[in-house]
Structure 1
Amino acid sequence: MAFTAADYTIFVLLLVLSSAVGLYYALSGGGQRTVQEFLLANRSMRFLPVALSLLATFQSAVAILGVPAEIYREGTEYWFLGCCYFLGLLIPAHVFIPIFYRLRLTSAYEYLELRFNKAVRVCGTITFIFQMVIYMGVVLYAPALALNAVTQFDLWGAVLTMGLVCTLYTTLGGLKAVIWTDVFQTVVMFAGQLAVIVVGTMKVGGMGRVWQLATEHGKISGVDLDPDPFERHTFWTLAVGGVFMMLSLYGVNQAQVQRYLSSRSEREAQLSCYAVFPCQQVVLCLSCLTGLVMFAYYQEHELSAAQSRPPPTSWFCTFVMDVLKDLPGLPGLFVACLFSGSLSTISSAFNSLATVTMQDLIQPHFPGMRESRATLISKLLALGYGLLCLGMAYLSSMMGPVLQAAISIFGMVGGPLLGLFCLGMFFPCANPTGAIVGLVAGLAMAFWIGIGNLVCNPRAAPAAPLLPNGTDFPPNGSLSTAIAATLLSSTPAPRRLSGLRRFYNLSYMWYSAHNSTTVILVGLLVSLLTGPTKGASVNPRTIYPVLPRLLCCLPPRWRAKLRCGVDSPTEDGSCAEPALAAPEKTSNGTLNGPVGGLAHGEEAAGEGYARAEGGHTYVVQETSL
């Protein structure tokens, strides 16, 4: 299926416009001359572009390819994932964002040093770097491979073009360019998916016909209330387990936290979370609808022998090219949609990796570094990670079935990092030793279950899934088969497993919940055994008092005891705690400085005072907003 001139024109236009955004922000305004401007867009972004950037970062090309194929294979049960979006975005908006924003952080892992110590911060940073470096090569290579399987689009030409363009605008334009290109790429993704749905529906005979065929073949799923965590997809697995997955992505992931911190005020950051919610629902509905249209289309149109050859990861590409081949320009729009997903995810990875490397690993050792030099190093780091991404894409092409483990690593690491932040925010007694041991235990548990699942789970066996027309696809141990096994998990695991085999069959949607809980339990146990942290020595600005806020009807004296000795930011113990001014961090990492630091657009009234306690110096500001 060859591309036409119109298709290439639309695809090239996507790359040119993305590069132009980076050049514009490199040459206009401050020209990305400061670290704050390059890494945090000078904390000047409004909520809507931030929300669309959050959405684009989450909606990678892997999801664009995988979700429709999941719906085709297993039905619409995956749609219930939308039930987790409410809590998965509400909790970050009211728990994580206020703490991160009021501390005026640049890297989320700075919080770990303020709450624990520098060693915990470095451990968290290295874990995040490992997670993103492994994943970004896969995100770049997988869609190019899937597209190459069904078109004449050159594989390595696509990989190199995407990688270099993304590196260019990320290095030149900083976070502001990344956010605005995400906005543009989000529009392209919506347009591409809508084009596929509209044309596909027309060729099937209308949406009524699509729904009729899906119903007749049992693809419209009911509510499965089975509480068994070893079932791959149930309502509880998707709606409850998905909350922890969302928290690991939208609560503590640096790529998302950095967007919150780029907002011009805390309220704008919270509004971005609210705005993402309806957008996520629309994206999920479009993906599910695309899968149903694909299923209905192949019930009435048999695949040719040539079309049957691509691996399962290319099903969606095969469908799109089959449906849009007679409409010049629309295949190019789909390619732009697919690669927009990759560009948005990869550019976010470059920028966040440059941020944590600069702020957590380099700058603490050179506190007197000039602003111009720090900005230059940040840009070089973004460039370096861009080139590293191309190298990881090449390694992905040589990994074969091992790639399944590489893709799974992203999910394995997210849960332990979520547990580490929750341990610090919700449990004042946790100490640095408990935090490090808990993180190691959580990672060990994650890799034990994840690798055990890959090795022992029967769905990795040679029994290959069927192609859309019912043709058996012979297993060949190729990269594409490995990606398909991970994205689609198409062969359900048999029942009546026992022992470790059943343990390894834990639904992937529970990974974040299980691994984060492991970090918290082990961290608390080690903290109690090695001497818990005294509440008076904990900076109250790093703690979220869960119980006092949930039990706000209790008398103030009782709620004060629930704080475990941590000072309350208010004197009257009322439920509504005013915003605190952010302290300024000195070169040695302590919190100090004059009262101030409220976000732009907020007015404070009242008197503040500085206090040194337990080795920490911090500013307490009583305000009325």
Structure 2
Amino acid sequence: MEFTVIDYSIFALLLVLSLAIGLFYALSGDRQRTVQEFLLASRNMGCFPLALSLLASFQSAVAILGAPAEIYHFGTEYWFLGCSYFLGLLIPAHIFIPIFYRLGITSTYEYLELRFNKTVRIFGTVTFIFQMVIYMGVVLYAPALALNAVTGFDLWSAVLTIGLVCTLYTTLGGLKAVIWTDVFQTLVMFAGQLAVIVVGAQRVGGMARVWHVAEQEGKISGIDLDPDPFKRHTFWTLAVGGVFMMLSLYGVNQAQVQRYLSARSELEAKLSCYAVFPCQQIVLCLSCLTGLVMFVYDREHPLAPTQGPISSDQLVLYFVMDVLQDLPGLPGLFIACLFSGSLSTISSAFNSLATVTMEDLIRPYFPGLSESRATLFSKLLAMGYGLLCLGMAYVSSMLGPVLQAAISIFGMVGGPLLGLFCLGMFFPCANSTGAVMGLLAGLAMAFWVGIGSLLSSTGAAGGSSLPNSTAVPPAGNLTTILATTLLTPTPAPQSPTGLQKFYSLSYMWYSAHNSTTVILVGLLVSLLTGPTPPAALDSRTVYPVLPRLLCCLPHKYQQWLCCGLGIPVQDDNHEDTTVKSKDLANGLTPPRPRQQKEEEGQGYIRAVTAPAYALEETAF
């Protein structure tokens, strides 16, 4: 199984075109001379490139290798994860995007300072940096290692080439280059996966036969409505637990929020989020079909018959090289597809890390920093994180079994960060002390369950991997790229009890479990230390979700739920405005807007009401 000249040419073409896009944006427009252009693409992107970039950002090579292997081993039950995409994208579009976009921020963690204080912002930023630094090395090294084991493709040549090309176009072209290379790389990913499915199905007699054989062998799964949260995959685990994972990714992750903020209007940002839904469904279906075709093909043409046991991440590559070996160029197309996943995810990581470092850790302490120097530092930060990524890939190669824990640790961070943002947005009474203590409690719980389950299963199974950690990441889901996709699936331990039972919690519930811990601890500490006074709260940073959900309650109860902040009502023209709860309790009605002022270039109209009332911004 070796590459031909045509295969190498197609792979090289991917790298050259990606680099060319970076050079184009480095030499066009304002030539990345301002922070707004470099980090936010001048806030002028349309919904189509944003949607494909949002999809590509976490459609990593690990997901391309892992999802079909999940279907191959366990059947199509994993497809029910697609049910979580609806709420997982609808909630960000209607809650998170409006709040972030209207605040005009650059870093997601600026929100935490506006809602709480600078300390909470720093805690959130440091947690995110820790998460992404671990992620970068693994997502670069893992597919290169699998490729080397199957095809003999030189390991460190692949790592260095991908890392350096990605660093160059991210540093030179900024977010515009990252977004447009994501678009190109997404198309390559689709083409590579479709080629494998079409050729593989044709080799075994067509897709109808693939489905028939898979159904006979029990690979077409029904709906498992078992509510047991300790069962690895059920409908509820995937469809409900998956919502929290999607929210941690598409709701509050800097890499995705930065794309929303680069849209030319709030409406474009929302539309890009809507457009991700069908794209995610297509990606999930392609993964399922690849896994089914691979299963049927393996029955008739055993993969790697002379080899010993192969790991899940290598299984897809053995299949691809076997199916496409007689078609020069197609193996190269799939490898280009594989490394397109790595390029898109790593470049997103570089850009988002440079953004939070500049906006959260440098600019607040150097307010006099000129625009040109800030832009230069942002580029140097992107380059520095690129070199750090190569270093982390080398560290990953030296860790051995500890690599399993490293990937799991990355997955443990998404849930607590989601909980921190939800605490601020949905609970006006939460204060900064509660936010910090809630985040620390959520991280402690995440590490306890994650590491405890890994050690527990290793001891119980003589070094075998944790069943929950073998879960393959859903297409586009950062928080589950994590849980040791490099490992071969193993049976779950029999009848765990006590802490063993606690440690066997399905990995799909980790995000929900950890974010709930943050909210509960944060609320408890906030109530004990004194809720945030309404006068000290910026009304733009909260979304009164409970009054909206319980709109049939009397106004005095809605007032209590809003903690005196103000609740949304409608005026005679059915336009939303905001009234202070104390005024509503006194029987006052909201005034009509008496002045409208269009703010140039911002894409919204701000309705300015009487001074005693809040400002309401309504998107076009």
TM-score (structure 1 length as normaliser) = 0.90
SS at match of 1:326: coil
- C-alpha contact 1:579 1:622 (8 A) present in aligned 2: no
CA distance in 2, matches of 1:494, 1:254: 37
- Which residue is equivalent to 1:139? 139
1:394 aligns with 2:408: no
Residues 217-616 of structure 1 correspond to what in structure 2 (within 5 A)? 217-308=217-308, 310-457=310-457, 461-462=461-462, 486-487=485-486, 490-554=489-553, 558-568=557-567, 572=571, 577=576, 600=601, 602-604=603-605, 606-607=607-608
SS at match of 2:615: strand
How many angstroms does 1:368 deviate by? Answer: 1.2
Identical amino acids, percent of aligned pairs: 74
1:620 aligns with 2:620: no
- Bigger drift between 76-85 and 554-563 goes to 554-563
How many angstroms does 1:63 deviate by? Answer: 0.4
1:106 aligns with 2:106: yes
How many angstroms does 1:58 deviate by? Answer: 2.0
- C-alpha contact 1:578 1:624 (8 A) present in aligned 2: no
Instruction: Label 1:34 to 1:502 Cα distance change in 2 as closer, same or farther (>3 A).
Output: same
Instruction: Label 1:549 to 1:573 Cα distance change in 2 as closer, same or farther (>3 A).
Output: farther
Instruction: Label 1:305 to 1:354 Cα distance change in 2 as closer, same or farther (>3 A).
Output: same
Question: Structure 1: which 5+ runs fail to align?
Answer: 466-481, 581-594, 612-617
Instruction: Label 1:297 to 1:221 Cα distance change in 2 as closer, same or farther (>3 A).
Output: same
CA distance in 2, matches of 1:533, 1:25: 45
Residues 115-194 of structure 1 correspond to what in structure 2 (within 5 A)? 115-194=115-194
1:268-307 CA distance string (max 9 Å, x none): 1000110000000000000011000000001011234444
- C-alpha contact 2:65 2:313 (8 A) present in aligned 1: yes
- C-alpha contact 1:150 1:307 (8 A) present in aligned 2: no
- Which residue is equivalent to 1:590? none
Instruction: Label 1:507 to 1:576 Cα distance change in 2 as closer, same or farther (>3 A).
Output: farther
How many angstroms does 1:531 deviate by? Answer: 1.1
Question: CA RMSD of the aligned region, Å?
Answer: 2.5
- C-alpha contact 1:81 1:238 (8 A) present in aligned 2: yes
- C-alpha contact 1:100 1:108 (8 A) present in aligned 2: yes
CA distance in 2, matches of 1:228, 1:208: 34
1:300-336 CA distance string (max 9 Å, x none): 1123444446433201101000000110000000000
How many angstroms does 1:453 deviate by? Answer: 1.1
SS at match of 2:106: coil
Q: How many residues align?
A: 590
Counterpart code for 1:282: I
- C-alpha contact 1:241 1:512 (8 A) present in aligned 2: yes
- Bigger drift between 483-492 and 444-453 goes to 483-492
Counterpart code for 1:604: I
CA distance in 2, matches of 1:489, 1:420: 34
CA distance in 2, matches of 1:610, 1:148: 66
CA distance in 1, matches of 2:389, 2:572: 50
SS at match of 2:430: coil
Counterpart code for 2:429: C
CA distance in 2, matches of 1:393, 1:62: 14
- C-alpha contact 1:606 1:621 (8 A) present in aligned 2: yes
CA distance in 2, matches of 1:507, 1:459: 19
Instruction: Label 1:114 to 1:609 Cα distance change in 2 as closer, same or farther (>3 A).
Output: farther
SS at match of 2:413: helix
How many angstroms does 1:559 deviate by? Answer: 3.3
Instruction: Label 1:601 to 1:109 Cα distance change in 2 as closer, same or farther (>3 A).
Output: closer
CA distance in 2, matches of 1:331, 1:460: 40
- Which residue is equivalent to 1:470? none
SS at match of 2:153: coil
How many angstroms does 1:536 deviate by? Answer: 2.8
CA distance in 1, matches of 2:195, 2:419: 41
How many angstroms does 1:569 deviate by? Answer: 6.9
How many angstroms does 1:532 deviate by? Answer: 1.2
Instruction: Label 1:15 to 1:624 Cα distance change in 2 as closer, same or farther (>3 A).
Output: closer
- C-alpha contact 1:77 1:220 (8 A) present in aligned 2: yes
1:72 aligns with 2:72: yes
1:239-290 CA distance string (max 9 Å, x none): 0000000000000000000000000111110001100000000000000110
Instruction: Label 1:620 to 1:514 Cα distance change in 2 as closer, same or farther (>3 A).
Output: same
CA distance in 1, matches of 2:535, 2:492: 51
How many angstroms does 1:555 deviate by? Answer: 5.5
CA distance in 2, matches of 1:252, 1:142: 26
1:167-215 CA distance string (max 9 Å, x none): 0000000001000000000000000000000000011111121112211
SS at match of 1:183: helix
- C-alpha contact 1:53 1:179 (8 A) present in aligned 2: yes
Instruction: Label 1:19 to 1:459 Cα distance change in 2 as closer, same or farther (>3 A).
Output: farther
How many angstroms does 1:373 deviate by? Answer: 0.2
Counterpart code for 2:539: P
Instruction: Label 1:31 to 1:194 Cα distance change in 2 as closer, same or farther (>3 A).
Output: same
Instruction: Label 1:603 to 1:448 Cα distance change in 2 as closer, same or farther (>3 A).
Output: closer
- Which residue is equivalent to 2:585? none
CA distance in 1, matches of 2:619, 2:406: 49
Instruction: Label 1:304 to 1:440 Cα distance change in 2 as closer, same or farther (>3 A).
Output: closer
How many angstroms does 1:38 deviate by? Answer: 0.3
CA distance in 2, matches of 1:203, 1:210: 10
Counterpart code for 1:517: T
CA distance in 1, matches of 2:601, 2:567: 25
CA distance in 1, matches of 2:343, 2:233: 29
CA distance in 2, matches of 1:440, 1:484: 21
How many angstroms does 1:547 deviate by? Answer: 1.8
1:425-466 CA distance string (max 9 Å, x none): 01111111110000000000000000011111259835879x
- C-alpha contact 1:106 1:359 (8 A) present in aligned 2: yes
- C-alpha contact 1:459 1:485 (8 A) present in aligned 2: no
CA distance in 1, matches of 2:607, 2:216: 67
Counterpart code for 2:351: N
- Which residue is equivalent to 2:475? none
Instruction: Label 1:432 to 1:326 Cα distance change in 2 as closer, same or farther (>3 A).
Output: same
- C-alpha contact 2:411 2:482 (8 A) present in aligned 1: no
- C-alpha contact 1:70 1:291 (8 A) present in aligned 2: yes
CA distance in 2, matches of 1:439, 1:484: 21
- C-alpha contact 2:72 2:295 (8 A) present in aligned 1: yes
Question: Structure 2: which 5+ runs fail to align?
Answer: 466-480, 580-595
CA distance in 2, matches of 1:292, 1:96: 37
CA distance in 1, matches of 2:458, 2:430: 40
- C-alpha contact 1:307 1:318 (8 A) present in aligned 2: no
CA distance in 2, matches of 1:597, 1:167: 40
How many angstroms does 1:550 deviate by? Answer: 1.8
CA distance in 2, matches of 1:536, 1:340: 49
Instruction: Label 1:494 to 1:205 Cα distance change in 2 as closer, same or farther (>3 A).
Output: same
CA distance in 2, matches of 1:411, 1:574: 47
- C-alpha contact 1:92 1:251 (8 A) present in aligned 2: yes
SS at match of 1:604: strand
CA distance in 2, matches of 1:575, 1:113: 33
SS at match of 1:457: helix
- C-alpha contact 1:37 1:174 (8 A) present in aligned 2: yes
- Which residue is equivalent to 1:40? 40
